[in-house]
Structure 1
Amino acid sequence: MFLGKVQVLWNNRVSSSYYKIGLNCSEDLSAAMPGQFVMIRLTSGIMPLLRRPFSVHNVKDNKTNGKYIEILYDVVGEFTGRLSEIKAGEWLDIMGPLGKGFVLNKNYSKIFIVAGGIGVAPMFFLSSYLVEKQNVDSLSIKIFLGARTKECVLCRDDFFNYGLEIITATDDGSEGEPCFITNSVETALAQSRPEIIFACGPLGMLQSLAGIAQKYEVPCQVSMESLMACGIGACLGCALEGNDKNSYLHVCKDGPVFDSRDIKFG
């Protein structure tokens, strides 16, 4: 695990209130797996005092920038507002990679990847990893992107560049189907079932998807979001109820990726 300061390579607005920041990184940090996260703290000013969790969106190594990771984030409060003002060449305090990522199998022949809103952040890393590192045929992966509006549909071109089939749905019908993305998933499931579903997004979406996966008897792994103070299981602030009687799981240590059957939704 890496703990220290990293230099910002870029911090670009990509759509609406969404930004993508590139961070120079060490061997430890570049060893992140799809579904893992990092904890980031600003190095200037006093507040916010605590680090904030962010899914790893991408890990790359090229001649221009060397090893780096990318974080995709939405400006929703004070911390992300200040993060969006960070310039290339400045520094951030980072800890990671943390948590348990997606459990992967090289022999998948049909995969559904479902992302709602900013939940797309870890799902692009997952998709690129499957294609580049595990040699999964891009034709076997179907991407489902759900968002409030057209402007909130993220990473469409990035997925397209990997040759992946993409289905979109928006609440207002401005892009793709005018429905919840879970409706699109169930329609596709009724026609042809995948071997696995991977998902990240709002809690309501994951709850609905877990029910659909159970109905069609398809394994489903979900990446859960939670407020975190430490990221390593010390503060116990990210507890969620498990399906086993009187059991609790912690998003930072036991997840953030879980088998959907292990979570007590609702």
Structure 2
Amino acid sequence: MNQAYAEILDNFTMAPGYHKMTLGCETPFGAAQPGQFVMLSIGAGATPLLRRPFSIHRMVPDASGRVKLEILYKVVGEGTDIMARMPVGAMVDILGPLGKGFIVRGHYRRIYLAAGGIGAAPMVFLLETLRQQPETCQCHVFLGGRSRGDLLCRERFEQLADQVDCTTDDGSEGAQCFLTSPLEAAVRRQPPDVIMACGPMDMLTCVAGIADRLDVACQLSIESVMACGMGACLGCAVPAAGDGSAYHHVCKDGPVFDAQLLKL
């Protein structure tokens, strides 16, 4: 884990309500793994005061030895609204990489990735990392959103994946259904070695159910509000599997979990 000040190299609107910020970071951040996150403070004197967690969207090394760290975020409140208006050249206080990321095992030959809405953010980093592995595997992406504008990073997924299925709630792009419908059909037709997913909790609950019913390994990246990012505040608890008396903390034990460890 490292704390540093990073320069904003780019900050632009990717789609209505969604923005991408590129930060220039020192090399220690290059050790980040897909699924890990960073905590951002947007500057002294700014409100809100607490750091905000953001999945690492991409890591791009440059010739100078620095790493360009990309964050994909949705404007949902005061903090992200301030972020969206920050200019190139401004500095942010960044802490990370934090948490536990996706586990890619050597025997995986077929992987299904499910990304719902802003849940696409860490999945690009994951897919880029998979494509750098010496072992070849088939990657099938299931991309979903409320509407066409919520199908984030579609072009990048199509560049990297063997197949991309898009769904929208309103039918404005792809099939009018939840992404879990084509996902379940694909699992029944050709089971993968693992499903890896990130998105709204309702979606993750359904994905975990599919994996459980059809006996497929499943890793879930949980989105949660958190204040510290290190397990101290205990504000990001999720129920553990079992009788409900135990909890995991998203920042410390996750954000990526084996689905069987959670009570969803």
* TM-score between both structures, scaled by the size of structure 2: 0.96
* Worse overlay, 64-73 or 207-216: 64-73
Q: Which secondary structure does the structure 2 equivalent of 1:92 belong to? A: strand
Matched, 1:233 2:231: yes
1:213 matched to 2:211: yes
Q: 2:145 — aligned with what?
A: 147
Once the 2 structures are TM-superposed, how far is the Cα of residue 136 of structure 1 from its aligned partner?
4.4
Is the CA contact (8 Å cut-off) linking 1:8 and 1:21 kept in structure 2?
A: yes
CA RMSD of aligned residues (A): 1.3
Cα 1:179–1:220, aligned 2, differ >3 Å: closer, same or farther? same
String of CA shifts for 1:52-95, please: whole Å, max 9, x gaps: 00000000113389421100001111100000011111100110
Partner of 1:262: 261
Distance 2:259 2:229 in 1: 21
Note the 1:72-83 alignment, pairs <5 A: 72-83=72-83
Q: How many residues were matched structurally?
A: 263
Question: Is the 2:127–2:161 Cα contact (8 Å) retained in structure 1?
Answer: no
- Structure 1 pair 161/15, CA: closer, same or farther in 2 (3 Å)? same
One-letter code of the match for 1:4? A
Q: Residue 227 of structure 2 aligns to a residue in which SS?
A: coil
Cα distance per residue 1:78-118 (max 9 Å; x no partner): 10000001111110011000000011113311100000000
* Alignment of structure 1 residues 153-232 onto 2, 5 Å: 153-232=151-230
Question: CA separation in 1, counterparts of 2:56 and 2:64?
Answer: 20
Alpha-carbon distance in 1 for matches of 2:135, 2:87: 37
Distance in 2 between residues matched to 1:128 and 1:148, nearest whole Å: 25
1:102-141 alignment, distance < 5 Å: 102-132=102-132, 134-137=133-136, 140-141=138-139
Contact persistence 2:27–2:66 (CA under 8 A): no
Q: Please tell me the residue identity of whatever aligns with 1:203.
A: M
Q: Which residue of 2 aligns with 1:4?
A: 4
Please, which runs of 5 or more residues in structure 2 have no aligned partner?
none
Aligned equivalent of 1:57: 57
Distance 1:20 1:155 in 2: 11
**2: CA distance, partners of 1:248 / 1:73:** 27
Supply the distance in 1 between the matched residues of 2:44 and 2:146 (Cα, whole angstroms): 34
Unaligned runs of 5+ in 1: none
TM-score normalised over the length of structure 1: 0.96
Structure 1 position 160, deviation (Å): 1.7
Asked if the contact 1:2–1:26 (Cα under 8 Å) also holds between the matched residues in 2, the reply is no
Q: State the SS of the aligned residue for 2:33.
A: coil
Change (3 A) 1:156 1:87: same
Report if aligned partners of 1:35, 1:101 keep a CA contact under 8 Å in 2: yes
Alpha-carbon distance in 1 for matches of 2:9, 2:166: 31
User: Which residue identity does 2:10 align to in structure 1?
Assistant: W
